[in-house]
Amino acid sequence: MERVKLKDRRYFDEKKIPRDVWSVLRTSSVLSVGEFRVFEIAYEKWYGEKGDEKTIEGYFIPYMFGDIVPMWVRHFCKHVLQLDEEDKLDPVDFGIVRRQATKEQISKGVEYILWIVVLFILMFVALDAMDEFVKLHCMFPPCY
């Protein structure tokens, strides 16, 4: 693997992003998954078997630090983006299934949000009370 020097790294300027990298980013966006997951799915589609994490990581690291996109990822991205363009894209076809939140998870989330709101209200009340306390008991300059 070729190491890329820090000064050679590309930062997010859309005009500098290579076409292959842009297609990976767009595919991950369209499928609502991370870029590594795009590599996993592409590997499985190309080789017919799931790749282990170390194998895929060997291709992903040069992509992340050197903008090197393997041929099989490029082919997969082209296929997915074409399906999206034709309005025929279904993420389920690629093993991407969204789980719905259970009632217990939703109620727990609402409970946490309420606790956070109560905590903030108590903080503001405490700050206001401290402000009033300081005004009443301030006898030395620079109190006005």
- Dump pLDDT digits (tens) for 134-144: 665 666 667 65
Residue 1 lies in a domain: no
Number of domains in the chain: 2
- Considering the domain architecture, whether residues 83 and 108 belong to the same structural domain is answered as no
Q: Is the pLDDT of residue 13 over 50?
A: yes
- Considering the domain architecture, whether residues 73 and 22 belong to the same structural domain is answered as yes
- Considering the domain architecture, whether residues 56 and 127 belong to the same structural domain is answered as no
DSSP of the chain? -----GGG---S-TTTS-HHHHHHHHHHHHHTS-HHHHHHHHHHHHHSSPPPHHHHHHHHHHHHHH----HHHHHHHHHHHHHHHTT---GGGGT--PPPPPHHHHHHHHHHHHHHHHHHHHHHHHHHHHHHHHHHH--STT--
Write out pLDDT tens, residues 106-121: 999 999 999 999 999 9
Confidence of residue 16 (pLDDT cuts 50, 70, 90): confident
Residue 34 lies in a domain: yes
Residue 72 has what pLDDT? 94
Question: Which domain does 108 fall in, by range?
Answer: 99-144
Write out pLDDT tens, residues 55-107: 999 999 999 888 889 999 999 999 999 999 998 888 888 888 888 889 999 99
- Considering the domain architecture, whether residues 113 and 50 belong to the same structural domain is answered as no
- Considering the domain architecture, whether residues 41 and 18 belong to the same structural domain is answered as yes
Q: Rounded to two decimals, what is the model's pTM?
A: 0.63
- Considering the domain architecture, whether residues 72 and 124 belong to the same structural domain is answered as no
- Considering the domain architecture, whether residues 22 and 45 belong to the same structural domain is answered as yes
- Considering the domain architecture, whether residues 83 and 106 belong to the same structural domain is answered as no
- Considering the domain architecture, whether residues 36 and 52 belong to the same structural domain is answered as yes
Percent of the chain with pLDDT over 90: 53
